Amino acid sequence: MTNVHFTHIGGPTVLIEFGGWHLLTDPTFDAPGQTYSFGWGTSSRKLTGPAVSAADLPPIDAILLTHVHHGDNLDSGGRALLPGAGTVVTTRPGARSLPMKARGLRAGESTRLEAPGRPPIDILATPCRHGPPLSRPITGEVIGFALSWPGQAHGPLWITGDTVDHRALRRAAAAIRPSTVLLHLGGVGFPLTGPLRYSMTGRQAVRLCQTFTPRTVLPVHYEGWAHFRQGRDGVERDLARAPEQIRGLFQWLPRGTATQFQV
């Protein structure tokens, strides 16, 4: 059994610590106020800064970067951290675009992190669809990460990445059977694209969790940006209509404070 500490820094950015490892997801450390273009006439303004500054982070062994081409997952402050990280794992196109060496994965591919005196971590890339059907050529390649290591009592740790609910995602979840999930939510939408959503809503999250029933779900990436159409209140309204078994899985991480869970 492994005790894992999660510190939600803001948006998709989480510091994950266990067994001597310090992992960071989708680093975003810019101050609020800037507007970021996402291409094809879409953009968003950052509303909230990080709860932990980059200067206060421990040395980072690996950065798990679900995609490199959206500012709400990798901003200027986050990019500045990449060269100092021991390893960067991201999509194949993302790895080719970065100025430093990175490990690029497609969904279904894996890599391993190893260091003396620490448990090895196997990282499996999981499928994401960052929008409605047929949107991948526009929204770009995105992956999630399923992390496994010796001593896990309940199953892998899964970082879903920015995705809507879709068949390949549900199949991957059912095959991996993760115990703890960092679930990217927010129901992203833009005026230009009307009712279309580019990340999961609470209702979709409930449907996904019913396919494999994890032990713990930790929502992230639902706050701090203008393009989120569903914040915590909206997610909780969807959860209120879900079966009690599913409602009880969701735990909200406090920003900036390490919270421990058994994985």
Q: Which two tokens stand for residue 226?
A: 């203008």
Give the model's pLDDT for residue 178.
97
Q: Which of 11-25, 29-43, 245-259 has the lowest mean pLDDT?
A: 29-43
- Find all residues with CB under 8 Å of 219, minimum gap 6, and list them: 183, 185, 205, 232, 235, 250, 252, 253
Structural element, H or E, at residue 62: strand 62-64
Give the model's pLDDT for residue 221.
98
Largest CA distance in the chain: 51
Q: Which two tokens stand for residue 137?
A: 């050529």
Give the rounded percent of residues in the chain with a pLDDT score beyond 70.
100
Q: Where residue 200 falls among pLDDT bands split at 50, 70, 90? A: very high
Q: Where residue 40 falls among pLDDT bands split at 50, 70, 90? A: confident
First to last CA, the chain: 6
- What's phi and psi for 245, nearest 5 deg? -60, -40
Indicate if the pLDDT at residue 138 is higher than 90. Answer: no
- Per residue in 214-233, pLDDT (tens digit) is 999 999 999 999 999 999 99
Give the rounded percent of residues in the chain with a pLDDT score beyond 90.
92
- Rounded CA-CA distance 6/148 in Å is 16
Give the model's pLDDT for residue 144.
98
| Segments making up each domain of the chain, as ranges | 3-253
- Rounded CA-CA distance 70/50 in Å is 17
Q: Where residue 137 falls among pLDDT bands split at 50, 70, 90? A: confident
Q: What is the mean pLDDT of residues 16-21?
A: 97
Nearest Cα residue to 66 out of 40, 43, 93, 44: 93
The residue length of the chain stands at 263
What architecture (CATH level 2) is domain 3-253?
4-Layer Sandwich (3.60)
Give the C-alpha distances (Å, rounded to integers) separating 173 from 60, 177, 180, 201.
27, 6, 11, 17
* Of residues 1 and 16, more confidently modeled: 16
Q: What is the mean pLDDT of residues 181-190?
A: 96
CB atoms within 10 A of CB 174: 11
**3-state class of 53 per DSSP?**
coil
Q: Using the 8-state DSSP alphabet, how is residue 84 labeled? A: G
Indicate if the pLDDT at residue 261 is higher than 90. Answer: yes
* Of residues 125 and 136, more confidently modeled: 125
* Mean pLDDT for the chain overall: 96
- Per residue in 149-161, pLDDT (tens digit) is 999 989 999 999 9
Q: Could you tell me the pTM of the whole model?
A: 0.97
- Per residue in 49-107, pLDDT (tens digit) is 999 999 999 999 999 999 999 999 999 999 999 999 999 999 999 999 999 999 999 99
- Rounded CA-CA distance 182/216 in Å is 9
